[in-house]
Structure 1
Amino acid sequence: MAPKFGTSGLRGLVVELTPALVADHVRAFAAACDHGGVLCLGQDLRPSSPRIAGDIIAAARAEGLRVIDCGALPTPALALAAQRAGAGAIMVTGSHIPADRNGLKFYSRAGEITKADEAAISAALGRAPGTAEGALEQDPRAAARFVARYVSACGAGALAGRRIGLYAHSAVGRDDLQAMLEGLGAEVIELGRSAAFIPVDTEAVDPDTRAQIAAWVIEHGLDALVSTDGDSDRPLLADETGTLVPGDILGQITAQALAAEAVVTPISSNSGVSRKSFARVLTTRIGSPYVIAGMAELGGKVVGYEANGGFLLGFDADGPSGVITALPTRDCMLPLIMTLIAAGDGAVSARVAQEPPVVTVADRVQEVPQEASQPFVARLSADAQARAAFLGRLGASEAACDLTDGIRMRLADGRIVHVRPSGNAPELRLYVEADDRDKAEALLRSGLAELRSALLG
């Protein structure tokens, strides 16, 4: 995976994220984006992250930036720290991708970088190294302030009596999530802590992990189990039966709990949101920059979320015990907490069952280079006969298609098949929607098999 830069940041194999390449992107960011002369820095728990963080510190200080090192903490906690400091930020993380890869995620003072920022950074690459020596400070309380944000707004007894499992694995926010849940009154049982980095994709949890989660829920008599991806901006929630709750359902529930009036979400999200009572629902291309742009377009009491569960709060919302200030960057903590609170004294599954009866499932074909996946999707997008042949092998036919992002095919019986190459990893995503789980899972299995056959032989 050759290093690639975009609005998701810089991503690539660790061996190719050299000090020179990292420094070049830091200098370009310093020259092109509004950071107020200050840079907050965070990192996840990958073995390579401390080295890359050191490269960033050296390059940023040489550009004269005052660097505030926040250490290992969730990406949204870093965003909150930067917002508080009126600073830019860089998070060292590869999110959910394997440990042999890593990346840098950039924030200007306005928040996550935009497509315009991306173009400006790309144009500023190749600058000569600076000769200044900016200050270096530590902020060891950034994660604790993030925890306090939710405990104070939701109340110390909000989850009293709840027995919650925490799949800790190697998530950078595992201890913060435990502190948050305990601060809200829950009993927390930690499970599966790992010293080695485990790439957990909350949008496509592998069968073995699903089975382990279900076993833990039953073994420990849990009301729910929670987890996050590596940099803790995407949530994972299993109900009292061990069944995973899709991230977009968490988004729908959280938006309602916060009394949002407008919702922005990518085209891949559960379409049941349009059946709820929100004044306006806007669908976008996949990726938080597009969601953020949509939120800016709508304004007011607006929220955004993605199919992976990352939730973006665009207004100061009333929590059960206080105000939750706007934080328009992908956050995993808010949808976990608000869904658990929304369940009240009842089962999480009962609250989920109140949502419109639309089931979405997703998975991916891994180790497919973009040089193969992008032409494949382009061919499906441009050729109705190619789509007919692909769907015919699934025993289906097309009623309509949407090219907002990848190719989203609505079938004659109302089901949906959505194929899209990842923008930052060597994988091809498949999203499926149906009116019940059995139909959705069956279509997902057959669709994945067909994609593997077409791309991997």
Structure 2
Amino acid sequence: MALFSTTGIRGISNETLTSEFVLDLARTYGSMLKQGSKVLIGNDPRTSSEMVKSAVIAGLLETGLNGFDTGIVPIPVLNFAVKQSYDAGIMVTSSHNPAEYNGLKFILTNGMEISENQEKRFEQIYKRKNFRRANWKKIGKYTEHNVIQDYETAVLNFIKLKALNLKIVLDIGNGAQGTVVPNLFKQLSCETVILHRTMNGFFERGPEPRPDTLTKLRETVLSEQADMGIAFDTDGDRAIFVTGREEILMGDVTGSLLANEILSENKGGLIVTTVATSSLIDYVVEKNNGKIIKTKIGGKIVGDVIIKKKALFGFEENGGCMFPQISPSRDGALTAVKIAELVASSGKSLSQLVAKFPKFHQLKARIHCEEKLKSKVMTYIKTLVKKEVKKIDSTDGVKIFFEDDSWILIRPSGTEPIFRVFCESKSQKRTEELEKWGVEKVKEAIKKL
């Protein structure tokens, strides 16, 4: 079984992700890098993060690398700092997975996660256990170093307005953005109400900002008469918005809103997103005479294409937006600040800004599926889509387009034992029909196998 998921290496703390395992993973990455390299290490607030990070630091120092511990930070802060001043980075996080999980993301000097080819080299070194061991005179050094202020300065310099004067409810989700985003909005003259700020490794709301976990945020936006609410995931690379009218805007909508602004300012350009993104982005790109590339799902995949194709902007439907001027990786805080700036500069509400776009109805579902069945389920699903379809896209899973321009995407998750079903049409009823069909077919396949 491969070590890597869609993004990083993950497991259940002290079960499948033990200190011994992590030590070997750090030795592996250390052996891939030049002796004496500077590696920045950060972590999210999970209960196991200090344990995991200690093993990471030991493995790096053993291979002759210098470890710089920046403590609890959102991963976009670590990515930015690595790009500015370090040879590599490691983030201790399991992103949106449940609290019992943890994991590692390996960052290159350009601020991006290691590529699929580098993952293969990583696995080869790990399996051989042929790790470099530094001579006692060249064992690496350990230093603590705070990188948050430099990141905040870069974000504040990146936006045009220096005072937004908005009232915003921030749902930190007990995650790493508690160290950054409240202070950013304070510096931008915003009044904030903060939910779920405690960083103790227990997620009161749940680690992932989904519609079914955002009830308290919606209620607070209404009761506080706030301009908007913003929810973040555990490692802080995603942001989901709630309007002043309690509407939840998924990443497709806010990503398209930002893309519209960026394409308009640049009179066209290239946008990168994934096959799971709403058709709204196609409308936005065409309206602005832009170009679009759609990739497999995964932030590092989108980021790699942004770099190679010199795109202006990229995003995923899960709320992760990428601004290559700062870092070609997902950034929840910068996404939050840019959307807030757009609202403040327009003089309109977030609801009003979104209302100018055509409406697409979306639904997403999750079905539990054991890892060993995923490939067989996917094969079965592909046998069912031969009739009444306009087009089939197999970039990632199977995406089926119908004659009425509705579509459904069915794919196995790369990070959890589940199948994901994404569907979209121009009517709620049709979208519900698609979701029901997709969920039934996945369950049918699992039952047969």
TM > 0.5: yes
1:284 aligns with 2:295: yes
CA distance in 2, matches of 1:445, 1:100: 31
CA distance in 1, matches of 2:309, 2:361: 27
Aligned residue for 1:173, secondary structure, equals helix
Match of 2:366 among 364, 370, 383: 364
CA distance in 1, matches of 2:34, 2:350: 42
Preserved contact between residue 99 and residue 201 of structure 2 (Cα < 8 Å): no
TM-score (normalised: structure 2): 0.88
Question: Which residue of structure 2 lines up, in the alignment, with residue 387 of structure 1?
Answer: 385
Match of 1:268 among 263, 276, 301: 276
1:442 Cα deviation after fit = 5.7
Alpha-carbon deviations, 1:330-356, whole Å to 9, x = none?
Answer: 111222222222223211011112234
AA matched with 2:312: V
CA distance in 2, matches of 1:456, 1:48: 36
272-281 or 302-311: bigger deviation: 272-281
1:5 aligns with 2:7: no
CA distance in 1, matches of 2:223, 2:428: 24
1:289 Cα deviation after fit = 2.7
CA root-mean-square deviation: 2.4
AA matched with 2:317: A
Gaps of 5+ in 2: none
- In the superposition, relative to structure 1, how do residues 237 and 445 fare at CA in structure 2: closer, same or farther (>3 Å)? farther
Preserved contact between residue 164 and residue 187 of structure 1 (Cα < 8 Å): yes
Gaps of 5+ in 1: 315-324, 392-396
Alpha-carbon deviations, 1:345-401, whole Å to 9, x = none?
Answer: 2110111122343343323224x22222331122222x1xx236xx9xxxxx43321
CA distance in 2, matches of 1:128, 1:19: 17
Question: Which residue of structure 2 lines up, in the alignment, with residue 306 of structure 1?
Answer: 316
Once the two structures are superposed, the pairs formed by residues 55-134 of structure 1 within 5 Å of their partners are: 55-110=55-110, 111-125=112-126, 126-128=129-131, 130-131=133-134, 132=136, 133-134=139-140
Aligned residue for 1:94, secondary structure, equals coil
1:136 aligns with 2:151: no
CA distance in 1, matches of 2:60, 2:297: 31
CA distance in 1, matches of 2:220, 2:447: 35
Aligned residue for 2:47, secondary structure, equals coil
TM-score (normalised: structure 1): 0.87
Match of 1:177 among 177, 181, 205: 181
Structure with the bigger percentage of strand: 1
Aligned residue for 1:329, secondary structure, equals coil
AA matched with 1:338: K
CA distance in 2, matches of 1:181, 1:363: 33
277-286 or 86-95: bigger deviation: 277-286
Preserved contact between residue 6 and residue 414 of structure 2 (Cα < 8 Å): no
285-294 or 434-443: bigger deviation: 434-443
Question: Which residue of structure 2 lines up, in the alignment, with residue 317 of structure 1?
Answer: none
Aligned residue for 1:221, secondary structure, equals coil
- In the superposition, relative to structure 1, how do residues 156 and 242 fare at CA in structure 2: closer, same or farther (>3 Å)? same
Preserved contact between residue 35 and residue 64 of structure 2 (Cα < 8 Å): no
AA matched with 1:5: F
CA distance in 1, matches of 2:35, 2:225: 48
Alpha-carbon deviations, 1:64-107, whole Å to 9, x = none?
Answer: 11111010000010011111213200000000000111110001
Preserved contact between residue 46 and residue 197 of structure 1 (Cα < 8 Å): yes
Alpha-carbon deviations, 1:281-325, whole Å to 9, x = none?
Answer: 0111111232123223322x52211111212222xxxxxxxxxx3
Would you say how many aligned residue pairs link Structure 1 and Structure 2? Answer: 429
CA distance in 2, matches of 1:438, 1:347: 28
Question: Which residue of structure 1 lines up, in the alignment, with residue 248 of structure 2?
Answer: 244
Preserved contact between residue 156 and residue 162 of structure 2 (Cα < 8 Å): no
